[in-house]
Amino acid sequence: MNNQIDYNSICDNELKEKTIKEFHRAIVKDLINKYGAQTMKDVMRKVNLQR
């Protein structure tokens, strides 16, 4: 299964840093609403330990 997304088919222009930050902020907000702040903190802690 190919998990790559062709962003050129989604938007005609190169994404700006501000747009990317707003998109990420919306994703984080949705994840916190769905799983809770503490769960997401635990996830980030585990991700940072793996680096």
pLDDT digits (tens, 9 = 90+) for 9-51: 566 667 788 888 998 999 999 999 999 999 999 999 999 999 8
The count of C-alpha atoms lying within 13 angstroms of the C-alpha of 46, restricted to the half-sphere facing its C-beta, is 6
Higher pLDDT, 24 or 3: 24
| pTM of the predicted model as reported, rounded to 2 decimal places | 0.62
Higher pLDDT, 3 or 45: 45
Name the 3-class secondary structure at 7: helix
Q: Answer positive or negative: Cα dihedral of 31, 36, 42, 44.
A: positive
- Binned at pLDDT 50, 70 and 90, residue 2 comes out as low
**Quick one: pLDDT at residue 20?**
84
Q: Answer positive or negative: Cα dihedral of 6, 10, 11, 12.
A: positive
